[in-house]
Structure 1
Amino acid sequence: MMRRALTLIPALCLAACAVGPDYQTPDAPPPQALAAPPKVAGQALLAGRDIPADWWALFKSPALDGLVREAMAHNADVAAAQAALRVARENALANVGSFFPSVTGSFQATRQKDPTGTVAPTAANNAPQLNLFTPQLSISYSPDLWGGIRRAQEALDATAEGQRFQVEATYLTLTANVVVAAVTEASLRGQVAATQSIIADADKALTILRRQRELGQVSAADVAAGETAVAQAQQGLPALEKQLEQQRHQLNALLGRMPADPTPETFQLSDLTLPAELPYSLPVRLVEQRPDIRLAAANLHAASAAVGVAIADRLPNLTLSGATGSSASALDSLFSPGNGFWNFGATLTQPIFDGFSLMHKERAARAALDQAAAQYRSTVVLAFQNVADTLSALKSDGDALAAAQRADAAAAHSLALARRQLELGAVAPSVVLAAQQAAAQARLTLVQAEASRLMDTAALFQALGGGWWNVPPAEAGGEAGHAGAAGGT
């Protein structure tokens, strides 16, 4: 009879249905969700161009490449995301056991004395005292009649999938932050160098003014104005040096280093090459590439499955249980004829009244599904806005850089003319001071424009997903991406 009962288990599984909504992948936005890519001066946007896994290598800086790889190996946020992925995967694997019967074994040894004045001895030889040894094997199984276990497994698998893309998002954010930190350092170094050059030029102009004052060619007010120009130029240098030092600390933190740890790598804008060709993804590809969109889709999937779990909890539940074993007063007679026993039973339970708790839990699950759907739509909209904003920034950067280059060249030429005329006494010192200020501002604006273009180029790679799908899997048949390459199963 026990064997016949166990053969019913597969049949019950096959006959079971899964209540609740079946997850449907959201439709991709239409092609017109993104406008045609703008024309960017000096850079070509190529539709359909794939993004390499090591996209930062396109800046052609070995030092930058080394820092990014060090950050991926030692950053604590990456380690935490990988650990969270292992947690999610192990939780999903742990729930698989719910599909199988639970089998436990036990062995009980007791010695007892019967109250012979009240009851007859239980031992076969009528002895009041006896030893009793009972080995037993118990089996319990709850068929997944309504698919509640399957929906729970579906939710856990979706959660693990979402954590996988959280890992990819962490890697993407980290690599982009390292690139931006290196560009920001290069920009600050350029601004420091430009400011030091401005101070040196102001000192030279002040020396000329003092010489001319000694000859009576200029007034004391002109000399004072020159001294003010020097002081103003010097005033901006400490702030830039502070920002540079803080930027070095930030870069160390991204690399998993302490602030006081040495950082031999330094960056200048001339060390970084602007990529001439940039990728441009169509909307249907963008929703597949962005880790945040894939994470939101996984959360939506988990919320959909949770509705099925809540519905199944309100329906009848069947539990099959049985046990077999033997009981004897001596160990050597445990398996003797007549000492064996078995039992089998079925229990059907149905929630009748629980203060409407299960009803409200189902409603909460449905509301959570609505929330996840709205969050998915919001994530998609923000992702497309991110891409559009970055493309607009690149176009503006190209125009701004061209204008800054023209302004720098014009200001430098104007300053050179003013200095020659000052030496000849053809112009007032105030003209030179004005030209110096214009040249200083033009040079700082040029450095900032070059840095902005590099940073926005990195932002485009980040906005398009960063090429994680081109990271080879750790083993044949495994998942592509950093999550798969990291092991973590």
Structure 2
Amino acid sequence: MNRATQTVTMTLLAAALAACTTVGPNYKVPQDAILNRPAANAPFLGASGTPFQSAPLPPAWWRLYQDPVLERLIVQAFAANTDLRMAAANLQRAHAIVEQVEEKKTPDVDAKIAPQYGRVAGSSLGIPEVLPRTGLYEGDIRVSYQVDMWGRIKRAIEAVEADADAAQAASDLAHVTVAADTTRAYAEACSAGYQLKVAQATLDLQQRFIQLTGERIRRGRGTALETSRAQAQFEQLRANLPPLEARRRVALYRLAVLTGAVPGQFPVDVAQCATPPRVAAAIPVGDGAALLRRRPDVRQAERQLAGATARIGVATAELYPNISLGASFGGVGMNSQFNDANTWKWSLGPLISWNIPSPRSARTRIAVASAATSAALARFDGVVLNALRETESALTIYARELDRNAALRAARDQSALAARQSARLYQFGRTDFLSQLDADRTLAASESALAGSDAQLALDQVQLFLALGGGWETTRAVAAAVAVKS
């Protein structure tokens, strides 16, 4: 009993020491990380204009469009998009790995029973007689527990939990991308429809001009050359239609695939859309601090840095021995002796194993883990800088396109006025054919440029929302609600 007491005491002492020894660095975001710089958390330089407001970006930013068709498409994409399904599978795998590693914290239980029939050699028992054949049995229940003396298991769990957090951020990033891609495809389809509408209206005006020219020729006030020139301009305008139709079809095919359908099953109502989606009000953009908290790629890079830091501890713990606590209870003997006191056996004690590494290989493993952490920090800083750059760029591009759009709209209005005035003068013979032809050509170019700018504004808005990194919050809220119900 004294020996058993000593063994239990040593075991408990080893367990107590395990609770207070964890090798490797404890993770926290480095103080010199770019994320902590005041300039990275400041208001955006490009958000000072009237198109923007400092209010926080709403989670479901696509509702700012107030477009039921767009909302329906994004719901469909979130439910059926193949990239999101793959991201969900990767997240499940990451959580399964966490559970697998956490199992090392729990004791292992192994039970064995082996009934046999045969004869025991009498000499092995010190008996000269030949023993008869009989039934034999052997059974054991063994319990082992690995003492995490140096924090190897703790650091491993920290690493895989950080990996799971990074997988969650990757899933969130996939939702942001799918929401933006769906909105972009919808905007491109509607913008192409709008440009087709404008091009067709311009073509109809040119057709009426050709008819007017023919009437003037029949009255002897024009020549066949004027008809040829007017017809040539008509054909040139008509050449703009096929590329626009192709753009609309390609956008519809992409929209179908984004929502989990085959390309030919694109939404029929979107095929009829001829109004580019636009957020008319000032866009809420927040500031740099809110952006860096919201963007999933920043969170993913930070979690990858945390995982790399934890793996330094895992590598360091390889320098120290493994300690396992074990206990077993069982019996062995002949069936006729079952439950006799001399057939029972038990043991209790620690098992210490140590694969003594060479100092060089140990330093190499730690150096590899440390280098991976340095690379993860560099990537983290790069992701933060890129997030700020993308957002500032998107803000600037959108604001300047608004300025361009306003100038093109003013030019279109003046071109339309000039075309009306020229048409009136041409009708009464106060100006020549070439002046009228040039006025119509200028108006057609102005209408086309304005329609192109309207389409570009729709795409620039989507790019801005993508850079702001919102849209994943709603899916996380739905997933949490489903988990609570289940």
Distance 1:30 1:121, change over 3 A: closer
| Alignment deviations for residues 104-130 of structure 1 (CA, whole Å, 9 cap, x no partner) | 1111122233566xx356789951433
AA matched with 1:32: A
Distance 1:308 1:104, change over 3 A: same
Partner of 1:22: 26
CA apart distance, 1:149: 0.8
Give the SS at the match of 2:135.
Answer: strand
1:195 corresponds to which of 199, 205, 208? 199
| TM-score normalised by structure 2 residue count | 0.90
Structure 2 CA distance, aligned partners of 1:317 and 1:96? 17
| TM-score normalised by structure 1 residue count | 0.89
Distance 1:430 1:125, change over 3 A: farther
AA matched with 1:14: A
CA apart distance, 1:482: 6.0
Partner of 1:398: 402
Partner of 1:302: 307
Structure 1 CA distance, aligned partners of 2:10 and 2:333? 27
Give the SS at the match of 1:321.
Answer: strand
Structure 1 CA distance, aligned partners of 2:347 and 2:80? 58
Give the SS at the match of 1:87.
Answer: helix
Partner of 2:352: 348
Structure 2 CA distance, aligned partners of 1:339 and 1:128? 18
Structure 1 CA distance, aligned partners of 2:138 and 2:10? 23
1:54 aligns with 2:63: no
1:316 corresponds to which of 321, 332, 336? 321
Contact 2:143 2:328 in 1 (8 A): yes
Matches within 5 A, 1:40-439: 40-41=49-50, 43=51, 45-47=52-54, 49-114=55-120, 119=123, 127-266=131-270, 268=273, 270=275, 272-330=277-335, 333-353=337-357, 356-439=360-443
Contact 2:210 2:227 in 1 (8 A): yes
* More moved, 337-346 vs 6-15: 6-15
| Alignment deviations for residues 263-297 of structure 1 (CA, whole Å, 9 cap, x no partner) | 12326464735241322322222221111100000
Contact 1:61 1:271 in 2 (8 A): no
Structure 2 CA distance, aligned partners of 1:246 and 1:312? 56
Give the SS at the match of 1:104.
Answer: strand
CA apart distance, 1:174: 0.7
CA apart distance, 1:351: 3.1
Give the SS at the match of 1:328.
Answer: strand
Give the SS at the match of 2:239.
Answer: helix
AA matched with 1:137: I
Identity of aligned residues (%): 24
Contact 2:57 2:286 in 1 (8 A): no
AA matched with 2:434: S
Distance 1:297 1:3, change over 3 A: same
| Alignment deviations for residues 414-462 of structure 1 (CA, whole Å, 9 cap, x no partner) | 1112222222222222222222222122112222222322332233333
Structure 2 CA distance, aligned partners of 1:437 and 1:21? 71
1:36 corresponds to which of 28, 42, 45? 45
Structure 2 CA distance, aligned partners of 1:110 and 1:428? 116
Contact 1:53 1:467 in 2 (8 A): yes
Give the aligned CA root-mean-square deviation in angstroms.
Answer: 2.6
* More moved, 297-306 vs 214-223: 214-223
Distance 1:122 1:236, change over 3 A: farther
What is the number of equivalent residue pairs in this alignment?
A: 474
Structure 1 CA distance, aligned partners of 2:309 and 2:94? 18
Structure 2 CA distance, aligned partners of 1:6 and 1:456? 66
Distance 1:382 1:426, change over 3 A: same
CA apart distance, 1:148: 1.1
Distance 1:272 1:72, change over 3 A: same
CA apart distance, 1:24: 1.1
Runs (5+) with no aligned partner, structure 1 = 473-479
Contact 1:29 1:284 in 2 (8 A): no
Structure 1 CA distance, aligned partners of 2:162 and 2:319? 23
Structure 2 CA distance, aligned partners of 1:409 and 1:124? 121
Contact 2:8 2:349 in 1 (8 A): no
Structure 2 CA distance, aligned partners of 1:334 and 1:288? 67
AA matched with 1:284: A
Structure 2 CA distance, aligned partners of 1:411 and 1:454? 24
| Alignment deviations for residues 128-147 of structure 1 (CA, whole Å, 9 cap, x no partner) | 43322111011222211111
Contact 2:190 2:274 in 1 (8 A): yes
